[in-house]
């Protein structure tokens, strides 16, 4: 058996952890640059606030309803998530961190009463971290996802749903459209609909081999899993990333090359930091700059840069990224987004060097280590390349940012006594 534990309205709940005054109140969290709504508390959902809507369109309504608004604070969410995951590890021998707010647990060899066990987990996470979670338990990962969905929707289940017999999961499957299944998105959903497959149960009853020919191997696995046979394994080890991207929308749209170059330098620095974190280097990077896609003739320039040798040195990466921006730049336009991706990543432990590789530079290594240490200790952006610029007028909007309560000394909450 598998369990899927999912934090309810994760980001909104994270904001409430240190703001108990906002408990049971409508709270929403905006995406980077305060663009869209990406999380809503129960009460905010009840007000009819839709997901992934541009903030500016709902501004008036939100104010009128007294909704509390937050800019995304991923430092805080990452830390709260880590606390939840650490606690969850106590409840299963095998776990998979699936996303910032979801974890799969393997329940093999555990007591029969998994419903009670699920309740115990839920109460423990609430007691220790003040994070509300839902628990879905079933014989495959896809069914566990489905059970989790049911746990959220059916209030009498009290946040824990066990789908351990075909009757139970078919009851749920018959009542949900096929696009609610893990792995079936809107595109495939449309195609399935034209084939007469509307509910999840319709898909579960389709011929897996035939569907594989019609679509791909994933759909075959999904069908197998929907019928109670596991076909998707737990992924217990964290593999290093194969690609690392850092892309942002601008707070103020720049039109000058200098702003684009400084922003790209800053994004490269962030990506390189993540690269070093996983002890990797990259042999290629991708750079893009683009105008708003809502413009009449949007410009999107992108370029892949093959490096002469694999590296993790921010200065080298930044140099090539800036050259690329220079080539992509078109004057007399305003840019909305830019980004950089490290796309040919390999481990530093298995370096393939050729004849022309410059000899290892211990000073580069030491400099990067020191840079990372300073930024880790005093917060991102404490030490940076001059190429990232001083002013950063392009920096993204974060008008409603909460403190980094758990990761910055200045932001630690104070408790009033007496």
Mode of pairing for the β-strands spanning 102-106 and 244-249: unpaired
Angle at which helix 314-328 crosses helix 362-378, to 10 degrees, equals: 90
Applying CB under 7 A, does 294 fall inside the site for DNA? yes
User: Does the protein bind DNA through residue 337 (CB under 7 A)?
Assistant: yes
Q: Note whether 374 binds DNA by CB under 7 A.
A: no
- Looking at the Cβ atoms of 251 and 389, the one nearer to DNA is 251
Is 101 a binding residue for DNA by CB under 7 A? The answer is: yes
Phi, psi of 73 (to 5 degrees): -125, 80
The reply to whether 189 sits near DNA by the rule CB under 7 A is: yes
Taking the C-alpha atoms of residue 129 and residue 87, their distance in angstroms, rounded to an integer, is 9
Contact window for DNA (CB under 7 A) among 40-48, 115-123, 164-172, 176-184: 176-184
The interface mask with DNA, positions 344-373, x = CB under 7 A, is ------------------------------
**Position 336 contacts DNA (CB under 7 A):** yes
- SS3 (DSSP) at 394: coil
Identify the residue among 58, 95, 184, 203 touching DNA (CB under 7 A): 184
Both tokens of 340, joined, read: 């950089």
Q: What is the DSSP string of 303-317?
A: EEEEEEEEE--HHHH
Q: How far is the CB of 341 from DNA (least distance, A)?
A: 7
Q: Does 381 interact with DNA (rule: CB under 7 A)?
A: no
Q: Which of 3, 339, 368, 387 binds DNA (CB under 7 A)?
A: 339
Closest CB to DNA among residues 103, 371: 103
CA torsion 369→371→373→378, rounded to 10°?
A: 180
Residues in a beta bridge with 286: 304, 341
- For 215-300, where are the alpha helices, taking DSSP H only? 217-226, 257-277
CA atoms within 13 A on the CB side of 49: 33
Size of residue set near DNA by CB under 7 A? 48
CA distance 37 to 29: 6
Among 60, 109, 111, 185, binds DNA (CB under 7 A): 185
Site track for DNA across 42-61, x = CB under 7 A: ----------x-xxx-----
Shortest CA distance to 139 belongs to which of 237, 236, 226, 235? 226
Region near DNA per CB under 7 A, out of 33-41, 76-84, 161-169, 369-377: 33-41
Our CB check for DNA shows the closer of 21 and 327 to be 327
Q: What's phi and psi for 183, nearest 5 deg?
A: 105, -15
Interface with DNA, residue 102, by CB under 7 A: yes
Q: Which stretch binds DNA (CB under 7 A): 120-128, 240-248, 352-360, 371-379?
A: 240-248
Rg (CA), the chain: 24
Distance of closest approach, residue 30 Cβ to DNA, in angstroms: 8
Which runs of E-coded beta strand occur in 26-93? 27-30, 37-40, 68-71
| Distance linking the first and last C-alpha atoms of the chain | 49
Residue 301 near DNA by CB under 7 A: no
Interaction of residue 276 with DNA, rule CB under 7 A: no
Q: Give per-residue burial for 62-74: e unless 16+ CB within 10 Å, then b.
A: beeeebbbbbbbe
| Residues 75, 341: Cα–Cα separation, whole Å | 21
2 binds DNA (CB under 7 A): no
Between 294 and 417, name the residue whose CB sits nearer to DNA. 294
Would you count residue 260 as binding DNA (CB under 7 A)? no
Interface contacts to DNA, rule CB under 7 A: 31-33, 35-36, 38, 52, 54-56, 98-102, 145, 181-189, 216-218, 239, 241-249, 253, 274, 292, 294, 304, 336-337, 339, 341, 396
């Amino acid at each position: 058996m598998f369990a899927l534990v999912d934090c309810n309205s994760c980001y909104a709940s994270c904001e409430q952890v240190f703001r108990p005054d906002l408990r049971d109140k409508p709270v929403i969290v905006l995406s980077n640059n305060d663009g869209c709504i990406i999380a809503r508390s129960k009460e905010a959902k009840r007000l009819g606030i839709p997901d992934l809507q541009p903030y500016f369109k709902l501004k008036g309504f939100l104010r009128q309803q007294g909704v509390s608004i937050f800019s995304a604070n991923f430092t805080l969410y990452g830390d709260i998530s880590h606390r939840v995951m650490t606690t969850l590890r106590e409840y299963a021998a095998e776990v998979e961190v699936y996303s910032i707010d979801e974890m799969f647990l393997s329940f093999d060899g555990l007591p029969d009463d998994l419903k009670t066990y699920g309740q115990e987990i839920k109460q423990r996470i609430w007691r220790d971290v003040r994070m509300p979670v839902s628990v879905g338990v079933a014989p495959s990962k896809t069914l566990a996802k489905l059970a989790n969905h049911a746990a959220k929707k059916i209030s009498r289940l009290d946040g824990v749903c066990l789908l351990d017999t075909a009757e139970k999961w078919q009851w749920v499957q018959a009542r949900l459209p096929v696009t609610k299944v893990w792995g079936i998105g809107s595109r495939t959903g449309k195609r399935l609909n034209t084939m007469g497959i509307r509910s999840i149960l319709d898909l579960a009853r389709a011929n897996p081999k035939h569907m594989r020919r019609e679509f791909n191997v994933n759909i075959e696995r999904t069908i197998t899993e929907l019928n109670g046979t596991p076909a998707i394994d737990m992924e217990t080890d964290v593999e290093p990333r194969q690609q690392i991207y850092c892309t942002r929308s601008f707070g103020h749209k720049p039109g000058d090359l200098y702003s684009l170059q400084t922003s790209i330098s800053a994004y490269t620095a962030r990506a390189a930091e993540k690269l070093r974190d996983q002890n990797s280097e990259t042999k290629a990077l991708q750079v893009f700059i683009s105008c708003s896609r809502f413009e009449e003739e949007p410009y999107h320039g992108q370029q892949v840069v093959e490096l002469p040798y694999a590296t993790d040195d921010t200065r080298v990466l930044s140099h090539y990224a800036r050259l690329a921006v220079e080539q992509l730049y078109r004057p007399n336009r305003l840019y909305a987004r830019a980004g950089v991706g490290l796309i040919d990543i390999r481990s530093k432990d298995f370096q393939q060097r050729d004849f022309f590789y410059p000899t290892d530079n211990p000073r580069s290594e030491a400099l990067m280590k020191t840079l990372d240490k300073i930024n880790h200790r005093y917060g991102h952006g404490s030490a940076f390349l001059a190429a990232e610029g001083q002013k950063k007028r392009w920096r993204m909007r974060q008008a409603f940012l909460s403190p980094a309560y758990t990761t910055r000394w200045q932001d630690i909450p104070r408790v009033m006594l007496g």
